[in-house]
Amino acid sequence: MERIKILLAVSMFGMSIFSWAQQTPRVHDPVVIKENNTYHLFCTGRGISHFVSTDLKNWEKLEPVFKEKPLWTDEVVPDFKNHIWAPDIIHQNGTYYLYYSVSAFAKNTSAIGLVTNTTLDPKNENYKWEDQGIVVQSVPNRDLWNAIDPNIIFDENGIPWMSFGSFWNGLKMVKLSKDLKSVSHPEAWETIARRERSFNLDDSDPGDAALEAPFIFKKGAYYYLFLSWDMCCRGENSTYKVVVGRSESATGPFVDAAGKAVNQGGGTLLIEGNENWYGVGHNSVYTFDGKDYYFSHAYDANDNGAPKLVVKEITWNNGWPSVEPMD
């Protein structure tokens, strides 16, 4: 196992800010959940990468969720190499639900799958990941949406919804069945975010319409939709940034601080890259021990654009989230 350390700095204002040692974890698209006294981080990687920490500073890498690729994946992406993207994890009724993305790069040949477990501790005798197969799938020449980047939220009536998507005709939301394993019937869909683009739907050249990675977080009376704009995964050409909108309903419509609808191109900037970080994005947000935290990756300009873990405490100003800029 690999032990990795992150140094914690405390500002003069008392807000925790995380900075990086040389061995900062290389992660992409992190999500986090706490079981007992241990934080579990899952992210993009071969078989879904898994890290643990007891303090959000020192991280230990464990074995991946899937040692071998799920059996169904070759039907979606021929000769799939088990490089699984952008998971999301929730705990419900004594079970951990880990949703994950299987996709060809820059295509909407994609599917979101689900794997479950009753514990996240590999030392527990009940530790066993059980794959549940496909939850939703996008098919080229049929769908103008992309089935990647899942995030689960329960609305004000306790109904589960999955937000997901990238590029194409915007980010979508679909109602899930009560067992959280499939789309509900009758189906219910929403478009929660989009940016104007031509219908030349080649994601390798999206113009100014790139968006992906929705994450919805409930705070007080509002649901906050975080999403990533612009380009990831391109080294020094990465332009990733995070924007946010809010709504009193889990399904929107979400609007930014200026009142512009997020499904009409709106979004209030939360964080972006700088000369030290080519881009920062694909975030998740949680409350741990009474504090709200932002997690994402950023591309390190001093390490050939390697994706590094970002952890920041969130403060709230007039009902809107704020984080310290990148160092």
* Whole-number Å distance between alpha carbons of 6 and 59: 8
In a domain, 23, yes or no: yes
In a domain, 175, yes or no: yes
In a domain, 312, yes or no: yes
For residue 114, the domain's CATH number is 2.115.10.20
Give how many domains the chain has, as a whole number. 1
In a domain, 327, yes or no: no
- What are the structure tokens assigned to 284, written together? 């998740």
In a domain, 32, yes or no: yes
In a domain, 65, yes or no: yes
Residue among 61, 21, 24 nearest 306 (CA):
24
* 212 is annotated as an active-site residue: yes
- Of the residues 29, 190, 230, 272, which is catalytic? 29
Please report the sign of the dihedral spanned by the C-alpha atoms of residue 109, residue 114, residue 120, residue 126. Answer: negative
* Whole-number Å distance between alpha carbons of 277 and 84: 24
- Of the residues 88, 149, 212, 272, which is catalytic? 212
Domain span at residue 50? 2-322
Return per-residue pLDDT of the chain as tens, 327 residues.
Answer: 444 433 333 333 333 333 333 357 999 999 999 999 999 999 999 999 999 999 999 999 999 999 999 999 999 999 999 999 999 999 999 999 999 999 998 788 999 999 999 999 999 999 999 999 999 999 988 998 999 999 999 999 999 999 999 988 899 999 999 999 999 999 999 999 999 876 665 666 666 689 999 999 999 999 999 999 999 998 889 999 999 999 999 999 999 999 999 999 999 999 999 999 999 999 999 999 999 999 999 999 999 999 999 999 999 999 999 999 999
Q: Please list the residues that pair with 114 across neighbouring strands.
A: 99, 133
- DSSP structure class, residue 198: -
* 29 is annotated as an active-site residue: yes
Beta carbons within 8 Å of 93's beta carbon, 6+ residues apart = none
